[in-house]
Amino acid sequence: MMVPQIKFIKHNVSISRLVYGIWRLHEDKDGFGEEQIYKKINTCLSLGIDTFDHADIYGDFENEERFGMVVKKHPDLKNKIKIITKFGIQVPGSKFPTKHYNTSKEHIRYSVERSLRKLQLDSLDVVLIHRPDPLMDPTEIAEVFESLIQEGKVKHFGVSNFTPSQFQMIQSQYKRPLFTNQVEFHLFHTEPMFDGTFDQMIQFGIHPMVWSPTAGGKIFAPKTESESNTLSKLEEIAKKYGASVDQIVYSWFLNHPAGLIPILGTNDLKRIESAAKCFSFPLTRLDWFSLLEVARGREVA
């Protein structure tokens, strides 16, 4: 079974229901040269995963470029892949002494044009504000978003790690529908289901993307008692379904009515293949709640 597409009705576009994340690309134990990246992209495509999640800062500002070298060498990829990237985080170094955010119109334009150059593309499918900037001006942001869309450089804009009110603030000035709010969500961080983040996505008719779906791998290497209990429950459910633990971890996201889109972080090709099979193991409501209960260490009220 191939990974299905999920439709963004307001945007008239679909992306794969599992997205592949580029954050850890440079940590691959098998290397991160062109051959290995090409192999990974092809593994994803063969499974139906056609969407790749970048950010300007990933890999010390080098992962977009590493990926782009492969796109340049294999230009046929351009018609097969969809690219999401992010901007706004400024890391301290020779240029700046202080870590900060920049959502000024000049920086947004600069970042988009730099990502296009590094990724060797003419247009970016989705661009997200990486983190909410306390100094962000929604009017200024909406203006430059619109210009970049008119110029054909970006197809859709969205946000990441935004509270519902921050999302609403940007949306109130931007005449097109924001694409998504990409947030941290996994068994050990379930707040977006309870703080209005996912409610708002349903209300706006868009799908949240969820990062660190395996809690950065913590789900497979528990340290606390509650983490161990969660892994035991996952193992129990996996056994019942004839699935592997990771497949149950990813399947757990699929029950939510907002249409969550997990972003895979594993560099292991076999683990990517395994994740893609999660759609074969839909969880019952009871299994879903039993995982929520064990991960949070308490039953629902």
Interface contacts to ligand NAP, rule CB under 6 A: 21-24, 53, 130, 160-161, 182, 211-217, 220, 246, 263, 265-268, 271
Check if the beta carbon of residue 167 is closer than 8 Å to that of residue 201. no
58 is catalytic: yes
User: In which residue are the tokens 């992209």 written?
Assistant: 41
Task: With H, G, I as helix, E, B as strand and everything else as coil, classify residue 5.
Answer: strand
State the minimum distance, in angstroms, from the CB of residue 93 to ligand NAP. 19
- Quick one: tokens of 178? 């924001």
Residue 193 vs 269, nearer CB to ligand NAP: 269
State the minimum distance, in angstroms, from the CB of residue 62 to ligand NAP. 14
- Quick one: tokens of 78? 């351009």
Check if the beta carbon of residue 4 is closer than 8 Å to that of residue 36. no
Q: How far apart are CA 167 and CA 28, in angstroms?
A: 34
State the minimum distance, in angstroms, from the CB of residue 127 to ligand NAP. 12
Residue 146 vs 184, nearer CB to ligand NAP: 184
- Quick one: tokens of 42? 């092809």
Residue 116 vs 183, nearer CB to ligand NAP: 183
Beta pairing class for 100-101 and 209-211: unpaired
Check if the beta carbon of residue 263 is closer than 8 Å to that of residue 211. yes
Calculate ∠ Cα 8-13-18, nearest 5°.
70
CA nearest to 233, candidates 173, 283, 171, 268: 283
State the minimum distance, in angstroms, from the CB of residue 264 to ligand NAP. 6
Residue 130 vs 233, nearer CB to ligand NAP: 130
Helices 105-119 and 63-73: crossing angle in degrees, nearest 10, is: 40
Q: What are the angstrom distances between the C-alpha of 165 and each of 168, 197, 245, 296?
A: 5, 9, 36, 26
Residue 129 vs 148, nearer CB to ligand NAP: 129
Q: How far apart are CA 117 and CA 104, in angstroms?
A: 20
Residue 215 vs 294, nearer CB to ligand NAP: 215
State the minimum distance, in angstroms, from the CB of residue 186 to ligand NAP. 6
Q: Which of 20, 38, 58, 101 is catalytic?
A: 58
State the minimum distance, in angstroms, from the CB of residue 28 to ligand NAP. 7
Q: Which residues are catalytic?
A: 58
